[in-house]
């Protein structure tokens, strides 16, 4: 394995995703704010980012559903805020335009979820009660024990969960939550002695 290369593929690409016909959507107006520092960036990269930011992929209904799901996946707790507080839906909107292979599984998966809820609860996912939402999420959140008829939902939820976690834990809030201490000038002297002792690695 080449560690210089991004190997996100071992996680995301290994999750098979059922494909569904995409439903037509009306573009929503986008209000993403640009946070990119242009240092060292090539012209084509800047042009591409601006173009993607000016486009909208998800419609308002889809974004609202994504927001509810993201906060079910990563809720606020005593240590940090929720996915939506970390602007995860904005990240998901961008990344599906940046990596278009997510578009169909996301759009189709959202529609699968809505139709499932419509049949079961007589309303789309967004309109379900919090209990109903958790009930159906429970049926698609554990791939090994999910019923066969829920597999399309499992595939969708795997992707939704990955994108949510990436968006959250790469935000300022999420990085602080994980306790990453680096990315700042320092003098590296090795693992602290008490940590070496804790793991029995003194003298290794």
Partner 1 sequence: MGDIQLKTSGQLHDVLVIGSGAGGGMTAYTLAKAGIKVLMLEAGPFFDPAKDSRQLQWPYQSLRRGGNATRAMGDFDAAYGGWEIEGEPYTQKGNTKFDWFRAKMLGGRTNHWARISLRMGPKDFACRTSYGAGDDWPITYDEIKEYYDKVDRLIGVYGTNEGLENDPDGVFLPAPAPRLNELFVKKAATGLGIKVISGRGSVLTAPLPGNTDRAPCFYCGQCNRSCKVYADFSSSSCLVIPAMKTGNLTVVTNAMVREIITDNNGMATGASYISKDDMQEYVVNAKTVVLAAGTCESARILLNSKTAQHANGLSNNSNVVGKYLHDSTQTGGIVVLPQLMNRPRFNEDGVGSLHLYAPWWADKQKLDFPRGYHLEIFGGMMMPSYGGYFGFEGSLVPMLNGYLPDAAGKMKPGGGFGKALKEDYRRFYGTMAGFGCHGTDVAKETNYCEIDNTVVDKYGIPVLRFHYQWGEDEIRQAKHMHETTQTIIKAMNGIPLIAPASQENNWGLANPGKGIHEVGTVRMGNNEKLSAVNKWGQSHDCKNLFVTDGSVFTQQSEKNPTWTILALSMRTAEYIVDQKKKQNI
Q: Which two tokens stand for residue 164?
A: 């949510």
For partner 1, which is the closer residue by CB, 24 or 172?
172
Smallest gap from residue 127 Cβ to partner 1 (A): 20
Residues 156 and 73: their CA atoms lie apart, in Å, by 13
- Say if residues 122 and 190 touch (Cβ distance below 8 Å): no
Judged by beta carbon, residue 24 or residue 130, the one nearer partner 1 is 130
Cβ-based nearer residue to partner 1, 131 or 144: 144
Comparison of 24 and 185: residue with beta carbon closer to partner 1: 185
- Angle (nearest 5°) at CA 153 between 60 and 132: 70
Instruction: Give which of 54, 72, 70, 53 is closest to 62, Cα–Cα.
Output: 70
Q: Which CB atom, from 21 or from 130, has the smaller least distance to partner 1?
A: 130
Phi, psi at residue 178, to the nearest 5°?
-65, -25
Separation CA 192–CA 172 (nearest Å)? 26
Q: Smallest distance from the beta carbon of 18 to partner 1, in angstroms?
A: 16
Shortest reach from residue 169's CB to partner 1, in Å:
5
HSE of 137 in the Cβ direction (CA atoms, 13 Å)? 20
Rounded to an integer, what distance in angstroms lies between the CA atom of residue 117 and that of residue 136? Answer: 8
Q: Give me the numbers of helices (H) and strands (E) for the chain, helices first please.
A: 9, 0
The distance of closest approach from Cβ of residue 22 to partner 1 in the complex, given in angstroms and rounded to an integer, is: 20
Q: How far is the CB of 190 from partner 1 (least distance, A)?
A: 3
Cα separation, 94 vs 57, whole angstroms = 8
**Which C-beta is closer to partner 1: that of 1 or that of 131?**
1
Reported as type and span, the H/E element at residue 118 is helix 103-121
Minimum CB distance to partner 1, residue 9 (Å): 8
């Amino acid at each position: 394995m080449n560690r210089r290369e991004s190997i996100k593929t071992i996680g995301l690409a290994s999750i098979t995703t059922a494909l569904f016909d995409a439903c037509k959507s009306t573009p929503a107006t986008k209000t993403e704010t640009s946070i990119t520092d242009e240092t060292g960036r090539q012209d084509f990269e800047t042009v591409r980012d601006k173009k993607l930011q000016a486009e909208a992929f998800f419609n308002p209904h889809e974004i609202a559903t994504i927001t509810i799901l993201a906060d079910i996946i990563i809720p606020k707790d005593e240590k940090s805020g929720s996915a939506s507080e970390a602007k995860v839906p904005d990240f998901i909107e961008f990344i599906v335009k940046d990596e278009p292979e997510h578009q169909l599984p996301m759009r189709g998966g959202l529609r699968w979820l809505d139709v499932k809820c419509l049949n079961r609860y007589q309303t789309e996912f967004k309109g379900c009660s919090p209990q109903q939402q958790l009930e159906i999420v429970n049926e698609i959140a554990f791939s090994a024990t999910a019923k066969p008829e829920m597999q399309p939902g499992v595939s969708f939820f795997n992707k939704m969960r990955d994108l949510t976690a990436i968006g959250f834990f790469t935000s300022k809030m999420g990085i602080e939550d994980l306790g990453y201490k680096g990315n700042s000038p320092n003098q590296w002297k090795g693992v602290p002695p008490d940590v070496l002792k804790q793991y029995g690695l003194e003298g290794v």
